[in-house]
Amino acid sequence: MMPLRGTDSRSACSFAVVRWYCGLILEEATVSDITWTYLDSHRETTEVVVVLHGFSSVKESMVRSVRPLFNDYRVIMPDLPGHGDTSSDMDSFRAEEQADRLFAFLAQVLGPSQTIHLVGCSMGGMIGGVFAAKYPATIASVTLICPAGITMPKKSPMFLVYEQTGENHMRVEKPEDFSRLQGYMAHRQRYIPGFILNFIEKRRDVLEKLMRDILLDASVLDDKLAKITHPCLVVWGDQDKILDISCLEVPPVVKPREETKVCV
């Protein structure tokens, strides 16, 4: 088994069970001094889905959501730079730089001519949107799930707290902070094992840099979405407490060739 650099033995064991159950292989690739860790279903098909997780998360977090895809597609799920077991020693995690890193990674793993169905959630949706606008020849379709990087006409509960008190509830410095963050992240709360909270605490310096750069890119998709030339599905939850559903009112988001779905 490939050693995991950022996880303890309990989390490594739990993730290994998830991979085994879903038939996923843990892989590693080094591209331009960045070591990527990713899951690959290795299904023999030309249809490839690449799934990008959100802030402070890991590749395994999206497995349950995309499991139905494993039967028909080759699915690749990387730890994005700054997360999980992928390299994190960068000075910047701005969306465009992350998109460039992703492009180089996919070109090495899949080859430069392979097109992909790109799925991204939250921060991963922001990176996915920038990627799709910048590298259209790589894209077959795009699915953006409550993507960050769109101006919010109506502030979400989390951003209202930030504006009114200056408290950033996305900042994770100790396990209790992540528990609080979970109250915003999920409409129906799920149990988060203690070892995951401790893992988050160990990465707080990197997460602080990531959060800084996400805030700098708060409107990066406002003009990028109009440049996406392939089928694009935008999905939003009407109970989202971090990225308000009013983002769908921003003109470039909703247009005839894009489909928008509101999940209750």
- Model confidence at 203, in pLDDT bands (50, 70, 90)? confident
The region that residue 42 occupies, defined by phi over 0 for left and psi between -120 and 50 for alpha, beta otherwise, is left
Tell me if 248 sits within 8 A of 222, measured CB to CB: no
Q: What is the largest CA-CA distance in the chain?
A: 52
Delineate the domains of the chain, giving CATH numbers in brackets.
9-263 (3.40.50.1820)
Q: What is the mean pLDDT of residues 16-34?
A: 88
Please check the confidence at residue 14 and state whether its pLDDT lies above 80: no
- Is 84 in contact with 8 (CB distance < 8 Å)? no
Task: Answer yes or no: pTM beyond 0.85.
Answer: yes
Reported as a single tens digit per residue, the pLDDT across 68-82 is: 999 999 999 999 999
Residue 164: other Cβ atoms inside 10 A:
9
Q: What is the pLDDT of residue 97?
A: 98
Residue-level pLDDT at 12: 62
Can you tell me the distance from the alpha carbon of 120 to that of 135, in angstroms, rounded to the nearest whole number?
Answer: 15
- Token pair, residue 154, equals 């109506």
Q: How far apart are CA 224 and CA 126, in angstroms?
A: 10
pLDDT single digits (tens) 219-258 = 999 999 989 999 999 999 888 989 999 998 886 665 554 5
